[in-house]
């Protein structure tokens, strides 16, 4: 079940001929790293569904045709990962409000031959924050690093839709965060005037804003490689902070280690990965996902 298939396998009938037949997948480029098959196949088995979930290597130029091939290949849907989430939004027939606002689709459903797009990254984060910290985004003052990336935008939109108490958008390329703050400002019209703002990724600005922050979220790709430089100086972290690192490449990312050393509560992105997957399952099958089984499968694979 760890095999990597190609986009051309969708049209050839090879995937439908597997036992059990492939009916779900993740499209990515690269896709080898994806942990989604591990917990989705556990969920399918536990639910008695005669189908398997496979990894398909889809290059950018292949994406529209690969999506269009899903109905004839007998697929129920697919997940979409790097770098295709924006391309999938452009290629589906319809997308829900949150996916459109996020500019990205990570879950596609095949329904009556049509492709419907959803995004479970933000709702997955919402559930992960509840699980890790027993806290709701709407009650928190959030500082989001990496607001200019795909995941960062989805998380910022989720925070805005939850009307979190305060949202500080930080990005290495500062203009991207400034544009996003202007776009999301209508969600923050009530209350104090500085409920949403963008700052450059510089220590002096971070220090100032962290004094008014409950939750730091890292949505940058920093921390994926062990040799990555720290995302922010450890001296800026304090015990009153909650720190959520969407990176899940390591059990203890540098940010999680530094946060815990400062006495803060911290978690890596595995719970977000789990919950975004469980939400995809719920969209495909219109029933609760077997979360404990999915969690155990994910834990045994990491
Ligand atoms: P992306 O679109 O390529 O965005 C990368 C972001 O990281 C951009 O904001 C970029 O800033 C920033 N960045 C890159 N290098 C940086 C550096 N050296 N210093 C400061 N900022 C830097 O990637 P993505 O798809 O959003 O993914 C971002 C992260 O989210 C990845 O680590 C991924 O693992 C994680 N993620 C986790 C889950 C989960 O379920 N846990 C789901 C989705 C994504 P610029 O705009 O300046 O380039």
Average pLDDT over residues 76-103: 97
| 85 is known as an active-site residue | yes
27-64 pLDDT, tens per residue?
999 999 999 999 999 999 999 999 999 999 999 999 99
Claim: this prediction has a pTM higher than 0.85: yes
**How close is the Cα of 170 to the center of ligand 1, in Å?**
12
Nearest atom, ligand 1, residue 268 CA? 41
- Cβ contact 170:147 at 8 Å: yes
**Burial class of residue 293 in the structure, from the number of CB atoms within 10 Å of its CB (0-12 exposed, 13-18 middle, 19+ buried):** middle
Asked whether 269 lines ligand 1 (CB < 6 A), one says yes
- What average pLDDT does the chain have? 96
Asked whether 122 lines ligand 1 (CB < 6 A), one says no
Output the residue whose Cα is nearest ligand 1's atom 21: 172
d(CA 184, CA 272) in angstroms, rounded, equals: 23
Asked whether 171 lines ligand 1 (CB < 6 A), one says yes
**How close is the Cα of 247 to the center of ligand 1, in Å?**
9
Label residue 194 by pLDDT band (50, 70, 90): confident
Output the residue whose Cα is nearest ligand 1's atom 11: 172
Asked whether 173 lines ligand 1 (CB < 6 A), one says yes
Output the residue whose Cα is nearest ligand 1's atom 2: 149
pLDDT of residue 1: 60
211-270 pLDDT, tens per residue?
999 999 999 999 988 889 999 999 999 999 999 999 998 788 999 999 999 999 999 999
Ordered domains of the chain (ranges, CATH): 4-119+276-300 (3.40.50.10860), 122-268 (3.40.50.720)
d(CA 44, CA 53) in angstroms, rounded, equals: 8
Label residue 2 by pLDDT band (50, 70, 90): confident
pLDDT of residue 23: 98
91-103 pLDDT, tens per residue?
999 999 999 999 9
């Amino acid at each position: 079940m760890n095999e990597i298939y190609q986009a051309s396998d969708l049209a050839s009938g090879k995937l439908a001929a597997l036992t059990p037949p492939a009916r779900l997948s993740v499209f990515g480029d690269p896709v080898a790293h994806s942990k989604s098959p591990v917990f989705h196949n556990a969920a399918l088995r536990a639910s008695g569904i005669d189908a398997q979930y496979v990894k398909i290597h889809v290059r950018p130029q292949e994406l529209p045709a690969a999506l269009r091939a899903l109905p004839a290949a007998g697929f129920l849907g697919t997940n979409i990962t790097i770098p295709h989430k924006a391309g999938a939004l452009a290629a589906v027939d319809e997308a829900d409000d949150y996916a459109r606002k996020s500019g990205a689709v990570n879950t596609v459903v095949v329904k009556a031959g049509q492709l419907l797009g959803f995004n479970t990254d933000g709702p997955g984060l919402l559930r992960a924050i509840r699980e890790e910290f027993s806290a709701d985004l709407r009650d928190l003052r959030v500082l989001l690093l990496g607001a200019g990336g795909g995941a960062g935008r989805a998380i910022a939109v989720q925070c805005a839709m939850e009307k979190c108490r305060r949202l500080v958008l930080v990005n290495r390329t500062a203009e991207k965060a400034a544009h996003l703050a202007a776009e999301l400002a209508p969600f923050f019209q009530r209350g104090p005037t500085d409920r949403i703002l963008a700052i450059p990724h510089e220590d002096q600005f971070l220090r100032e804003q962290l004094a008014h922050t409950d939750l730091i979220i890292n949505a940058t790709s920093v921390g994926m490689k062990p040799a990555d430089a720290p995302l922010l100086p450890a001296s800026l972290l304090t015990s009153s902070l909650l720190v959520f690192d969407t990176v899940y490449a390591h059990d203890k990312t540098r940010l999680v280690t530094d946060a815990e050393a400062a006495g803060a509560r911290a978690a890596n992105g595995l719970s977000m990965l789990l919950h975004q997957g469980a939400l995809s399952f719920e969209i495909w099958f219109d029933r609760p996902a077997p979360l404990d089984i999915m969690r155990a499968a994910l834990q045994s694979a990491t």
